[in-house]
Structures are given as C-alpha cells and as structure tokens.
Amino acid sequence: MLSNYNNLLNMIQNGFPIEPRPFLSIADQLGMSEIEVLEIIKELKEQGTIRRLGGIFDSKKLGYKGTLCAMEVSENRIGEVSQIINSYPCVTHNYLRDHKYNMWFTLIVPSQYSLDTHINEIKNKTGINDIMILNSLQTFKINVNLKIKGA
C-alpha cells in the first residue's frame, strides 16, 4: 500500500497529465482505479502530506512580479499574523526565521500597484508597519521535485 502512495506522489509532482481526466490516466498507469487515486490524494491532503495540488506557472513570463517580504512579529502574534498573510492568494510562501525580521513571505502580483495595495492591506490588518520589501531581481530556482523512496 505504501508503494502505491509513493508512486502516486512521484507521479503527481513530476508528470501530471494535462487531459480531461488526469486522475484516470494516473490510475491506469499505477494499476489502480480512479476512485482509489482520488481517495489516496484526499487522505494525503487531510494528513498534511500534500498541501496543494495545482499548476505552477512562470509568473515572470506572465508579467507578474515576485517580491520577498520580511517583518518583525512578536512571538505571541505569530499565529494571528501568519493567518492574515496566508489569507492572500498571492502569498506563495510564509515561513519563520531566527532573526529580528522573523516572518518572511513571498508575494506574486501582476503590478507594482497590486504589490503596494497588498502590502498596505497587510500593514493595516496586522498593525505592523515595518515590512522590508526585497524585489526579485533574478530567479535561481522555481521548481523542487522530491523523489519519494520506495516507489
């Protein structure tokens, strides 16, 4: 059973079929039913093994702007502030660092105006005005594939 899970995880992150019934195609390749594949994916999402299942686009080629932001958040507000930041669909990552600026997050937005609007909203909702903005100048890596052992 674990082998099915591992094979499925490898397949959906490295070769997801673009067709009307992608889960049926995956099921056929794994010797499973479409329902089994969907049930395993649901279970893995509920467990937190899979956080998101969807496409990743080259935002720069689409004219979007990537920005890394950092802010100083007191220990007792980390959960609250994190929820606010994570509520924005344009936030792709949000993580803690051992630094004065301890909460770092990335925004992918279509314009400078959109960036300014989102940052101002985040400032207003969190009450934190000191947000360091580090605009993306060069892309080094946009894809991570994790080879699941035992597959």
What is the tens place of the pLDDT at every residue in 61-109?
888 888 999 999 999 999 999 999 999 999 988 999 999 999 999 999 9
Q: How far apart are CA 86 and CA 118, in angstroms?
A: 12
115-141 residue pLDDT tens: 999 999 999 999 999 999 998 777 766
DSSP 124: H
Which one has a higher pLDDT value, 151 or 53? 53
pLDDT band at 22 (very low <50, low <70, confident <90, very high): very high
103's tokens: 């909460």
The pTM of the full predicted model, rounded to 2 decimals, is 0.64
Handedness of CA 144, 38, 6, 11 (dihedral sign): negative
Q: How far apart are CA 92 and CA 84, in angstroms?
A: 13
